[in-house]
């Protein structure tokens, strides 16, 4: 059954598993565990339903960016001032809705490098997370469907690499653009930008066609693919949304080890607190901010920090909320000779209304497709690059250092679009970023947002790699295939100093927080073990981005789906 207020949840109901957070990790776990008809599952989500008020914003692919930074679909986090960004505080939205990030994100589906998974396995001390072992779960997750415009996709990807029967729908670009041909022409002419027939093979290096979590004209999210189908078809799963988990409660002890099978939750800061007990496990899937926040409020975290807020430490673990990895992003634009970019649509008005009309009438057109890019490139710094002089932080030889992606218009999440003109944008992302930030308590009150400090571009490696990425983008935009199309720079950047100033003014986080409760067999170094069980307590497991000991070098949704699919089997095996 579905409940939208804690007071409606039947008080006598008991559950085997309580899943906290209905984002990517939580939705996969809830679906897979409820396959066992003998188990009862409760899912508790702080945010809203993915249906109802303004839900077109999270259904129509092109307008994804209208869902953040501050809407009813987001947690409106703001960071502390970022030193490398002119001390700007940046907006850091996260999904506050069934589906979590998968309901509001840009839908870019990248499995990342096989070495990212091998590094996870090695650091967590569990070979099951390695690429070769986990690959079946990538297939289990995915259902590749034809592109929405029905174009012939032969040669644009390698079919055998993709799932055909999973819940999550993925597809190639559903709206072809005028820059597709020149982008592909660059890959034939320049060794710096080789063509990769499919970046989801475990070796993403090169320029590939982009895959998105889109089926037909609609976003496919963990809510539409996993959670709601299970809730609507099975009687052993209850879903409660509009209910924030405020802490875990110690429910007993095994010897000297505390057991945490109690979950406390409330509709808002003024309303009554409720509790529920999980007979088997509490699964924390509240994401890289929500999960450590709940642990800290429950007395599991760095003792000195907890003491500052008069929270009694039950388990002293200095790693909770630390080691936060993320990816910095900056957008760069060029003026182009075209009447066919998406700029008029982004500006709104008549062009947007026309596109929306076409979408409703035919289910086709630009709005039915991902607006970010049709192709993207994952590239490595040259082996002799001085940026690598102090070592290579990437996980292996098929792991990129940076990403570039090409948009057929003025794309930016920080810069306002100019009133006039036509543009092309290249997105620059440092995907092997070495800066590490944190999430810490701001208050003992669970309804006060925690302090987020991602330390964007904090290290010299990250800054120099961003400079390299921008220079690479500049070579791309001025390559022969773009002669006559690209007419000039929107912003002219010549020296490294120019670039760093530009980055300080406009860079932001791509919103891939990771590793804030990382897996490590040694409780001194991590928060969970290789089976994702929280160290030094019983009854709590974590399944979300926070447990990854490395941040995958690409976009993060696919790696989380894949790890959650395997985590579900790990849990099933633990309760035979």
Ligand X SMILES: Cc1cc2nc3c(=O)[nH]c(=O)nc-3n(C[C@H](O)[C@H](O)[C@H](O)COP(=O)(O)OP(=O)(O)OC[C@H]3O[C@@H](n4cnc5c(N)ncnc54)[C@H](O)[C@@H]3O)c2cc1C
Q: Which is nearer to ligand X, 258 or 552 (CB)?
A: 552
In whole angstroms, the minimum distance from the beta carbon of 366 to ligand X comes to 17
Calpha distance 225→231 (Å, rounded): 11
Which residue has its beta carbon closest to ligand X?
A: 23
Q: What's the min distance (Å) between Cβ of 176 and ligand X?
A: 20
Q: What residues between 31 and 60 interact with ligand X by CB under 6 A? A: 44-47
* Sequence-separated (6 or more) residues with CB below 8 Å from residue 271: 6, 7
SS3 20: strand
**Residue 106 known to bind ligand:** yes
Q: Which of 6, 21, 302, 377 binds ligand X (CB under 6 A)?
A: 21
Q: Which of 139, 211, 401, 555 is catalytic?
A: 555
Of 118 and 264, which has the nearer Cβ to ligand X? 264
DSSP class per residue in 124-174: HT-GGGSHHHHHHHHHHHEEE---TT----TTSS-GGGS-BSSSEEEBS-S
Q: Is 165 a catalytic residue?
A: no
Q: Is 97 annotated as a binding residue?
A: yes
Interface residue with ligand X among 560, 562, 570, 571 (CB under 6 A) is: 560
| Rounded distance between C-alpha atoms, residue 376 and residue 507, angstroms | 19
Round to whole Å and give the CA distance between 335 and 338.
9
Q: Which of 286, 296, 367, 388 binds ligand X (CB under 6 A)?
A: 286
Q: Measured from the CB atom, is 247 or 366 closer to ligand X?
A: 247
Active site residue 512: yes
Q: Compute the distance between CA of residue 392 and CA of residue 398 in angstroms, rounded to an integer.
A: 12
Residue with token string 């080691």: 323
* Contact string 176-215 vs ligand X (x = CB under 6 A): ----------------------------------------
**Is 20 a binder of ligand X (CB under 6 A)?**
yes
Q: Is 92 annotated as a binding residue?
A: no
Does residue 542 interact with ligand X by CB under 6 A?
A: no
Q: Hey, which residues between 218 and 257 contact ligand X (CB under 6 A)?
A: 244-245
Burial class (CB in 10 A: 0-12, 13-18, 19+), 522: exposed
Cβ-Cβ contacts under 8 Å for 68 (sequence gap 6 or more)? 74, 91, 93, 104
Among 22-30, 111-119, 248-256, 461-469, the segment contacting ligand X (CB under 6 A):
22-30
Structure tokens of 366? 């630009």
Contact string 323-362 vs ligand X (x = CB under 6 A): ----------------------------------------
Q: What CA dihedral angle connects 232, 238, 242 and 246, to 10 degrees?
A: -150
Q: C-beta of 362: minimal distance to ligand X in Å? A: 25
Interface with ligand X includes 94 (CB under 6 A)? yes
Nearer to ligand X, 134 or 336 (CB): 134
Tokens at residue 377, please? 């490139």
Task: Say whether residue 290 binds ligand X (CB under 6 A).
Answer: yes
The single residue of 267, 468, 512, 535 carrying the catalytic annotation is: 512
Q: What part of residues 97-116 is at the interface with ligand X (CB under 6 A)?
A: 100-102, 104-108
Which span sits near ligand X by CB under 6 A: 94-102, 357-365, 519-527, 531-539?
94-102
Pick from 25, 166, 206, 217: which binds ligand X (CB under 6 A)? 25
To ligand X, the closest distance from the beta carbon of 78 in angstroms equals 14
**Minimum Å distance from CB 29 to ligand X?**
9
Q: Which of residues 473-512 bind ligand X (CB under 6 A)?
A: 511-512
The DSSP string of 52-120 is STTGGGGTSGGGGGGG-SSSTTEEEEEBPPBGGGTTB--EEEEE-BTTTHHHHS--B-----HHHHHHH
CB proximity list for 553: less than 8 A, separation 6 or greater: 112, 113, 116, 204, 378, 394, 395, 399, 400, 401, 431, 432
Residue 196 assigned to a binding site: no
Rounded-to-integer distance, Cα 319 and Cα 306, Å: 13
With respect to ligand X, which residue has the nearer C-beta, 94 or 203?
94
Please tell me whether residue 23 binds ligand X under the rule CB under 6 A: yes
**How many residues sit close enough to ligand X to count as binding (CB under 6 A)?**
40
Identify the CA nearest to 142 among candidates 121, 159, 120, 154.
Answer: 159
Least Cα distance to 172 among 108, 222, 242 occurs for: 108
- Helices 131-141 + 114-124 axis angle, to 10: 120
Active site residues: 512, 555
Query: Which residues fall in the annotated binding site for FAD?
Result: 97, 105-108, 245
What residues line the site for ligand X (CB under 6 A)?
20-25, 44-47, 68, 93-96, 100-102, 104-108, 244-245, 285-288, 290, 294, 511-512, 544-545, 555-558, 560
């Amino acid at each position: 059954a579905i409940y939208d207020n804690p007071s409606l949840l039947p008080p006598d109901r008991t559950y085997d598993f309580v899943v906290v957070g209905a984002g990517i990790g939580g939705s996969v776990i809830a679906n897979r565990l409820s396959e066992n008809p003998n188990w009862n599952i409760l899912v508790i989500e702080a945010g809203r339903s993915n249906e109802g008020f303004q839900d077109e914003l999270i259904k129509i692919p092109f307008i994804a960016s209208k869902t953040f930074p501050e809407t009813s679909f987001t947690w409106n986090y703001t960071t502390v001032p970022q030193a490398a960004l002119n001390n700007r505080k940046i907006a850091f939205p996260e999904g506050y809705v069934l589906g979590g990030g998968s309901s509001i994100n840009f839908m870019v589906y990248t499995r990342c490098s096989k070495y990212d998974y091998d590094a996870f396995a090695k650091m967590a001390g569990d070979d099951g997370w390695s690429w070769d072992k986990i690959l079946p779960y990538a297939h289990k997750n995915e259902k590749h469907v034809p592109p929405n415009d029905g174009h012939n996709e032969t040669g644009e990807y390698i079919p055998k690499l993709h799932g055909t029967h999973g819940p999550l729908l993925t597809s190639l670009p559903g709206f072809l653009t005028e820059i597709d041909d020149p982008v592909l022409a660059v890959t034939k002419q320049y060794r710096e930008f080789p063509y990769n027939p499919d970046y989801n093979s475990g070796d993403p290096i090169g320029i590939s066609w982009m895959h998105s979590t889109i089926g037909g004209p609609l976003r496919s999210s963990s809510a539409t693919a996993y959670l709601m189908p299970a809730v609507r078809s099975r009687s052993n799963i209850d879903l409660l949304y509009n209910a924030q988990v405020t802490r875990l409660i110690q429910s007993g002890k095994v010897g000297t080890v505390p057991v945490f099978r109690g979950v406390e939750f409330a509709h808002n800061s003024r309303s009554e607190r409720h509790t529920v007990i999980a007979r088997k496990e509490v699964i924390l899937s509240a994401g890289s901010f929500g999960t450590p926040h709940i642990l800290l409020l429950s007395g599991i975290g760095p003792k000195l920090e907890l003491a500052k807020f008069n929270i009694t430490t039950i388990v002293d673990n200095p790693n909770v909320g630390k080691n936060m990895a993320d990816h910095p992003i900056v957008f760069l634009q060029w003026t182009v000779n075209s009447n066919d970019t998406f700029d008029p649509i982004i500006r709104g008005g008549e062009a947007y209304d026309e596109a929306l009309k076409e979408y409703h009438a035919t289910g086709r057109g630009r709005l039915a497709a991902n607006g970010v890019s049709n192709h993207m490139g994952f590239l490595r710094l040259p082996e002799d690059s001085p940026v690598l002089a102090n070592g290579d932080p990437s996980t292996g030889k098929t792991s990129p250092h940076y990403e570039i992606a090409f948009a057929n218009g003025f794309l930016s999440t920080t810069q306002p679009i100019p009133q006039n003109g036509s543009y092309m944008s290249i997105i620059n992302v440092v995907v092997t970023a070495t800066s590490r930030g944190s999430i810490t308590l701001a208050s003992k009150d669970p309804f006060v947002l925690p302090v987020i400090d991602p330390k964007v571009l904090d290290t010299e490696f990250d800054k120099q790699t961003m400079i390299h990425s921008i220079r690479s983008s500049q070579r791309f935009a001025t390559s022969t295939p773009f002669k006559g199309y690209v007419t000039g720079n929107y912003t002219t950047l010549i020296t490294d100093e120019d670039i760093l100033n530009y980055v300080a003014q406009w860079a932001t986080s791509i919103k891939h927080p990771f590793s804030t409760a990382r897996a490590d067999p040694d409780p001194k170094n991590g928060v969970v073990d290789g089976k994702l069980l929280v160290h030094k307590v019983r009854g709590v497991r974590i399944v979300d981005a926070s447990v990854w000991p490395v941040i995958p070098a690409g976009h993060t949704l696919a790696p989380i789906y894949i790890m959650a699919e395997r985590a579900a089997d790990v849990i099933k095996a633990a309760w035979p």
